[in-house]
Amino acid sequence: MTGPRRFRAGRFLDAAAVHAAADANPRLQRFMRTVAAHSEAGEVRSRRLLEHLIRRMIDDVGDLHLNNALNRLERIAVLRDNIAAILDHVLEGGTLPDGVRVATLGEYFDQLNTEMRELSRPRDGIVGDAPLRLADDSAVYADSLLREFDAGGGAGGRHVEPTAIVGDAFRAMPADRQAALRRAAELEPAALWRTVAAESEAGKRAAVADLETRLGGRLTPDELARLRTAVDDLGRARSRGLQVSEARLTEALARIGDADLRAVVASGDIWLTQQLALHNPEALTTLWRRFRDRGGRADDGPGFRAYLRHDMVTYGRGVLGEYGAAFSLSSIELFLKGPDANVKVAGTDLVGIGHDGWVWLIDDKSHRAGSVSGVSALTDNLVTNLRRDAADFRDAIARLQRDDPGFTPDPRILDAISRMEDAAAEIDRINRRGSASTRPARISRALEERRLRLRVTSAAGEVREITQALRDLGLAVAPTGPPVPLPPTGGR
């Protein structure tokens, strides 16, 4: 077990957010006034001290929680290794290792369950019902905070405002925008800064509305319009200076071959578009191509950002849904096709064999809607997917047999594959012959005769029902409930 580590979570705090919180809290305001009254540096020092205290306490609380989590993860890894070693020994030799009792394996599983449960309740896992203490002696702790602050010259933590970048953005503005900013700064400097420093769109809108209310008609409509544009320019420059250095952005832009995409990234959102350019330019290029193929304009930066966000959200929900379903379906004894991150690949999401021997073909629909009317993977493309999955399973068995000539596949798996192939052939015949009105019932009967179930899950969504047309084909929604308490890298 390693010793305590320092993570310095407090360095991610934005100074403007700390100061805004302090300005809105009467107790913190009194603290700053008291410190300012007893300090030669006055309010400047009191604000910097408050920021330092908040950063340090977040550092210490974060270290406490994160070290606890890491230690538990290390214990979980040891327990899993011990369990795996015992099970491997049994599978290879047929008996328990020397000195290992049957009860020992159960104890390991009990310990693993306890560690996983406590991992999900970090505070309870550290102190239970007791107060969360950062130090045994509060006076010593306070002294260390002050000495650390004094040693740093009261510099206010690691946050440094990108004043040079904001200044360059101001100087690059037309004279009428500069004039509007100067006028607002003379009348409402604090409100103006809150508007420039706002991090979210909602925060920006609220800050702009507050600023305009405070200005109270002292600026003309034209001046207000120029002020809004100027504030946006300064806020964008500040955010870029905080999150993306000019050198790194220049390097990222140089790697982009498409001139239109390069221009969109250069003037784009620093939280999403530019971060993707910095960290995953291949994905950025692919998503840009899809955006353009779907009719997106070459100069529509906001539209591309919205496309990126939608893609990321739906992709993330799809991955979470597949894994959540796999670890929540207790009726499945083994999976022939497990969850993966390729949620955009066509086909079934999961294929498993239940305790009763029935084969489950599963498509996860983690949508926000409560009902779905189309599950193409299990309807229009059912024959194709049955054949593709069966072929993939046979290929996997063949590879295992090539690698290990002594490998013997589980008869249940071979039987399941044969039933899938037989069902595909029968449903193909049904689709080509007979009355369309009786087709759903015949398909449902063909699946039932071969002990195949079509199931829809919604482990990360709200789907609870399907249309009658889907039910006629034999589909049903399989409730997942909360995931079972297994490690995220585990399996069945």
Q: pTM for the whole thing?
A: 0.50
Strand partners, 276: none
**Per-residue model confidence (pLDDT) at position 332:** 93
**CB under 8 Å to 458, separation ≥6 — which residues?**
321, 364, 365, 366, 367, 464, 477, 480
Residue by residue, pLDDT tens for the chain (492 residues) are 344 567 677 777 777 677 777 777 888 888 878 877 776 656 777 778 888 888 888 888 877 777 778 878 878 888 887 787 777 766 666 677 776 777 777 787 888 888 787 777 766 666 666 677 777 677 777 777 777 776 654 444 344 577 778 888 899 999 999 999 999 988 888 889 888 887 667 778 888 998 999 888 888 999 999 999 999 999 888 877 776 777 778 888 999 999 999 999 988 777 788 888 888 888 899 999 999 999 999 999 999 988 988 887 777 778 888 888 888 888 899 999 998 877 878 899 999 999 999 999 999 998 777 888 888 989 999 999 999 999 999 999 999 999 998 899 999 999 999 999 999 999 999 999 989 999 999 999 999 999 999 999 988 888 889 999 999 999 999 988 654 343 343 333
- Give, in order, the Cα–Cα distances in Å from 408 to each of 334, 399, 400, 401: 17, 12, 9, 8
Query: For the chain, what are the domain ranges?
Result: 9-151, 163-243, 255-299, 318-477
pLDDT of residue 453: 96
Structure tokens given for 462 = 């709200």
SS3 sequence of the chain: CCCCCCCCHHHHCCHHHHHHHHHHCHHHHHHHHHHHHCCCCCHHHHHHHHHHHHHHHHHHHHHHHHHHHHHHHHHHHHHHHHHHHHHHHHHHHCCCCCCCCHHHHHHHHHHHHHHHHHHCCHHHHHHCCCCCCCCCCHHHHHHHHHHHHHHCCCCCCCCCCCHHHHHHHHHCCCHHHHHHHHHHHHHCHHHHHHHHHCCCHHHHHHHHHHHHHHHCCCCCHHHHHHHHHHHHHHHHHHHHHHHCCHHHHHHHHHCCCCHHHHHHHHCCCCCCHHHHHHHCHHHHHHHHHHHHHCCCCCCCHHHHHHHHHHHHHHHHHHHHHHHHHHCCCCCEEEEEECCCCCCCCCCCCEEEEECCCCEEEEEECCCCCCEECCCHHHCCCHHHHHHHHHHHHHHHHHHHHHHCCCCCCCHHHHHHHHHHHHHHHHHHHHHHCCCHHHHHHHHHHHHHHCCEEEEEECCCCCCCEECHHHHHCCEEECCCCCCCCCCCCCCC
d(CA 154, CA 375): 61
